[in-house]
Amino acid sequence: MALFGRTDLPIQKNAASRFIQWLVMVLVFMAAIAATVNAYTGSLLAHWNRSVTGTLTVQVPAPMEKPGKPNDVPKDVAAVLGVLKIHPDVLRVEAVPRAKVVALLEPWLGSGEAVSDLPLPALVDVALKPGTDTRGVTDAIMKAAPTALVDDHRVWLNRVGNLAEGVGMIALALMGIIAAALGLTVIFATRASLAEFRDVIEVLHLVGARDDDIAGQFARRALGQATAGGLLGLALYAPTLGVIALLARRVDTSVLPNVGLPIAHWALLASLPIVAGVLAMGAAHVTVRRALRTMV
Amino acid sequence: MAFNRKKNKPFEGDTVALDTVDLSYDGATPVLSAVNLALPQSSFHFLTGASGAGKSSLLSLLYLAKRPTAGSLKLFGEDVTGASRNKLAGLRRRLGVVFQDYRLLDHLSAFDNVALPLRIARVPEAVVTQDVTELLKWVGLAEQMDAHPPTLSGGQKQRVAIARAVVNRPKLILADEPTGNVDDTIAVRLMALFVELHKLGSSVVVATHNESLVSRFPFPRLHLDGGRLTLLPPLKPAASILGEG
């Protein structure tokens, strides 16, 4: 018989320790969901950060007089384009066609005569060379067209960043609560087992068992139960993630872009059963050691 | 021999040395008072006295389930006062106890119960199998090795308990009424086992109130009366066992 896993206590059939397995399953499932929400928010932020960093959107207000032919380029816009095309920091510059601006507004204003008659601002998309500061380009634009609005998306991105941070913190707090719940459950289940096996433990002591030997038996049991529960939790998580991904795919990709989750996230998920096991093992060991001090 | 030594004064190298030991469970009524006891290596003593005289209490001091309220207790030369729990566990591994109520583990087979002290001491499993099998055969339980205690008779349980107590070849054997539930033939056989271990160097204390058993062996008696311990000579003269040996 291998020393590891040998047990003199009838804890294999014990209800309290089996309960740990089911509880850890639920806890790991919840932790996995929380971690995924956290990782997805982070990836989303990184995705948006990547796609808007180094880009500017210039809004040139429409002249107050009625627009001429749709393809006429207003004076200010022409000035902005002229400056940007020769600016050393600019990688690419492109005036957004009026049809596209109208299309962007369609969800809010509808289509048709009313919109095409509106004095719409002209939009210019600017891509900067990597690593350049937006300030120089912004100054150049403002000089060419003082009424232009330059948006480097920072304000928007900061707000999204704050949201992501908040979600991340909630997820982290949730995982902390889950870990605490796991620890407490193991402590109480272990105490219940200790009370149940008091006589057996006393005999083990009397034939020479050390506290560590006995605590080790409880700890190994908790490790096994919690790891098994953790694996069940992940088994439950996998199809849930599948369903969520399926539902998310039906949502517009501009709202929920299909970003990949980092390897670290999957590594974290894979480690959850181990983390739960080690946590349960530690909690059981400490609980038993403390309780045994008052015994024979 | 211990009973020849003056006043039973403790001696360096004694297996057990109690110096004016008191024991009280509630702090007021003494169960044992001013007990002095020295058990040399390889000694054999009966422990006698009426029920409630403190036999089990004295034994529980010796197997380290209780600590003296006052006085000092040395086991294998080590003072147990203030000894760490690991140290106590180490000392317990060197003694074997037969409990009056056996204290077998019901969820383990007779074999596993007997194997327990060996496995706890991390004895290789091959040795465990050999020693336990041999011992269980010797106490007449070859057929019951896989049986669990609840299915065994009182006498069978007692033999399992004795086998568990001696399987580790302990240096000190404490037996509380070890022959209370077996007939005389088996009682003598079990006593022969204790005598054998005694001859091999173990110190043995057998608590009993079976006078006929005591009178068959030339061993001194530790007699408890009202919590006080006195050393009495053997009921059977020593000469007759010398003739046997």
Q: How far apart are CA A163 and CA B208, in angstroms?
A: 79
The pLDDT-based confidence of A6 (bands split at 50, 70, 90) is low
Indicate whether A25 belongs to any domain.
yes
User: Looking at A151, A175, A194, which one is the last position of a domain?
Assistant: A151
Strand duo B203-207 + B44-48: pairing: parallel
> Which residues in chain B have Cβ-Cβ distances shorter than 8 Å to A211?
85-86, 89
Q: How far apart are CA A80 and CA A94, in angstroms?
A: 11
Q: How far apart are CA B111 and CA B137, in angstroms?
A: 11
Low-confidence stretches of chain B (pLDDT < 70) are 1-12, 238-245
What letter does residue A63 receive in the DSSP assignment?
Answer: P
Check whether residue A46 and residue A178 sit in a common domain: yes
- Can you give the pLDDT at residue A153? 81
Query: Domain residues for A200?
Result: 10-50+156-292
- Contacts (Cβ under 8 Å, ≥6 apart) of A168: A38, A41, A42
Q: How far apart are CA B52 and CA B57, in angstroms?
A: 9
Place of tokens 């707090």: A173
Cα A52 to Cα A18, A126, A156, B61, B217, distances in angstroms: 51, 10, 10, 80, 100
Q: How far apart are CA A254 and CA A249, in angstroms?
A: 11
Burial class (CB in 10 A: 0-12, 13-18, 19+), B114: buried
> Which residues in chain A have Cβ-Cβ distances shorter than 8 Å to B117?
207-208
**Residue A68 is part of a domain; what is its CATH number?**
3.30.70.3040
Give strand ranges (E) for chain A. Answer: 55-60, 90-96, 122-128, 149-151
Query: Domain residues for B223?
Result: 41-65+84-244
With CA atoms as reference, report the closest residue to A148 among A84, A85, A66.
Answer: A84
> Which residues in chain A have Cβ-Cβ distances shorter than 8 Å to B92?
205-208
- Can you give the pLDDT at residue B2? 45
With CA atoms as reference, report the closest residue to A216 among B122, B137, B187.
Answer: B122
Indicate whether B104 belongs to any domain.
yes
A206 touches chain B (CB under 8 A): yes
The pLDDT-based confidence of A132 (bands split at 50, 70, 90) is confident
Nearest to A207 among B86, B90, B116 (CB): B116
Check whether residue A66 and residue A25 sit in a common domain: no
Q: How far apart are CA A168 and CA A175, in angstroms?
A: 11
The pLDDT-based confidence of A100 (bands split at 50, 70, 90) is confident
Structure tokens at B213: 């058993």
What letter does residue A40 receive in the DSSP assignment?
Answer: H
ipTM of this predicted structure:
0.86
Indicate whether A4 belongs to any domain.
no
With CA atoms as reference, report the closest residue to B147 among B105, B115, B110.
Answer: B110
Q: What is the pLDDT of residues A216-225, one digit of tens each?
A: 989 998 999 9
The residue of chain A nearest to residue B117, with distances taken between CA atoms, is A207
Check whether residue A62 and residue A38 sit in a common domain: no
Q: Got the DSSP string for A141-208?
A: HHHH-TT-EEE-SHHHHHHHHHHHHHHHHHHHHHHHHHHHHHHHHHHHHHHHHHHHTHHHHHHHHHTT
- Can you give the pLDDT at residue B239? 58
Indicate whether B142 belongs to any domain.
yes
Check whether residue A64 and residue A160 sit in a common domain: no
Q: How far apart are CA B176 and CA B136, in angstroms?
A: 20
Q: Report chain A's mean pLDDT, rounded to a whole number.
A: 84
Indicate whether B202 belongs to any domain.
yes
Q: Is A236 helix (H, G, I), strand (E, B) or coil?
A: helix
| CB pair distance less than 8 Å for B65 and A8 | no
In this structure, of A3-17, A77-91, A188-202, B136-150, the range with the lowest mean pLDDT score is A3-17
- Can you give the pLDDT at residue A291? 92
Q: What is the pLDDT of residues A180-217, one digit of tens each?
A: 999 999 999 889 888 888 889 999 999 999 999 899 98
A196 touches chain B (CB under 8 A): no
Strand duo A55-60 + A149-151: pairing: antiparallel
> Which residues in chain A have Cβ-Cβ distances shorter than 8 Å to B164?
207
Place of tokens 């009838």: A10
B107 touches chain A (CB under 8 A): yes
Check whether residue A171 and residue A41 sit in a common domain: yes
Indicate whether B155 belongs to any domain.
yes
User: Looking at A122, A151, A180, which one is the last position of a domain?
Assistant: A151
The pLDDT-based confidence of A61 (bands split at 50, 70, 90) is confident
Q: How far apart are CA A276 and CA A231, in angstroms?
A: 10
A8 touches chain B (CB under 8 A): yes
- pLDDT value at A67 more than 80: no
Give the strands of the sheet with A122-128, arranged side by side: A90-96, A122-128, A55-60, A149-151
Nearest to A208 among B103, B121, B125 (CB): B121
Distance from the B141 Cα atom to the nearest Cα atom in chain A, whole angstroms = 21
| CB pair distance less than 8 Å for B120 and A205 | no
Burial class (CB in 10 A: 0-12, 13-18, 19+), B92: buried
Indicate whether B128 belongs to any domain.
yes
Structure tokens at A18: 């089996």
> Long-range contacts: A22-26, Cβ < 8 Å, 24+?
A22/A229, A23/A181, A23/A182, A23/A185, A23/A229, A24/A182, A24/A225, A24/A226, A24/A228, A24/A229, A24/A230, A24/A232, A24/A233, A24/A276, A24/A280, A25/A229, A25/A230, A25/A232, A25/A233, A25/A236, A26/A233
- Pairs across A and B, CB distance < 8 A: 56
> Which residue of A197, A205, A207 to mutate against B (max B Cβ within 10 Å)?
A207
B65 touches chain A (CB under 8 A): yes
- The structural domain count of chain B equals 1
Indicate whether A140 belongs to any domain.
yes
Indicate whether B25 belongs to any domain.
no
- Can you give the pLDDT at residue A181? 92
With CA atoms as reference, report the closest residue to A27 among A284, A286, A275.
Answer: A275
| CB pair distance less than 8 Å for B85 and A292 | yes
- Can you give the pLDDT at residue B244? 44
Q: What is the pLDDT of residues A145-185, one digit of tens each?
A: 888 888 888 788 888 888 888 988 999 899 899 999 999 99
Of B224 and A134, the one with more pLDDT: B224
Greatest mean pLDDT range, A77-86, A118-127, B4-13, B225-234: B225-234
Check whether residue A284 and residue A167 sit in a common domain: yes
With CA atoms as reference, report the closest residue to B42 among B225, B170, B200, B160.
Answer: B200
Indicate whether B93 belongs to any domain.
yes
Check whether residue A38 and residue A73 sit in a common domain: no
Structure tokens at B243: 């003739």
Indicate whether A41 belongs to any domain.
yes
Check whether residue A121 and residue A104 sit in a common domain: yes
Of A138 and B58, the one with more pLDDT: B58
**Residue B237 is part of a domain; what is its CATH number?**
3.40.50.300
Nearest to B89 among A200, A210, A293 (CB): A210
Check whether residue A36 and residue A168 sit in a common domain: yes
The predicted model gives A246-269 an average pLDDT of: 80
> Which residues in chain A have Cβ-Cβ distances shorter than 8 Å to B97?
206-207
Check whether residue A287 and residue A178 sit in a common domain: yes
User: Looking at A151, A175, A208, which one is the last position of a domain?
Assistant: A151
- Can you give the pLDDT at residue B37? 93
Check whether residue A163 and residue A147 sit in a common domain: no
> Which residues in chain B have Cβ-Cβ distances shorter than 8 Å to A3?
122
Q: How far apart are CA B55 and CA B58, in angstroms?
A: 5
Cα B32 to Cα A10, B45, B54, distances in angstroms: 37, 18, 7
Distance from the A288 Cα atom to the nearest Cα atom in chain B, whole angstroms = 14
Distance from the A2 Cα atom to the nearest Cα atom in chain B, whole angstroms = 9
Sign of the dihedral defined by the CA atoms of residues B107, B108, B113, B116, in that order: negative
Determine the distance from the C-alpha atom of residue A202 to the mean position of all C-alpha atoms in its chain, rounded to a whole number: 49
- Can you give the pLDDT at residue A159? 85
Check whether residue A258 and residue A285 sit in a common domain: yes
- The structural domain count of chain A equals 2
Strand duo B228-232 + B221-225: pairing: antiparallel
| CB pair distance less than 8 Å for A208 and B117 | yes
The pLDDT-based confidence of A2 (bands split at 50, 70, 90) is very low
Indicate whether B124 belongs to any domain.
yes
Q: What is the pLDDT of residues B211-225, one digit of tens each?
A: 888 998 999 999 999
Sign of the dihedral defined by the CA atoms of residues A252, A253, A255, A260, in that order: positive
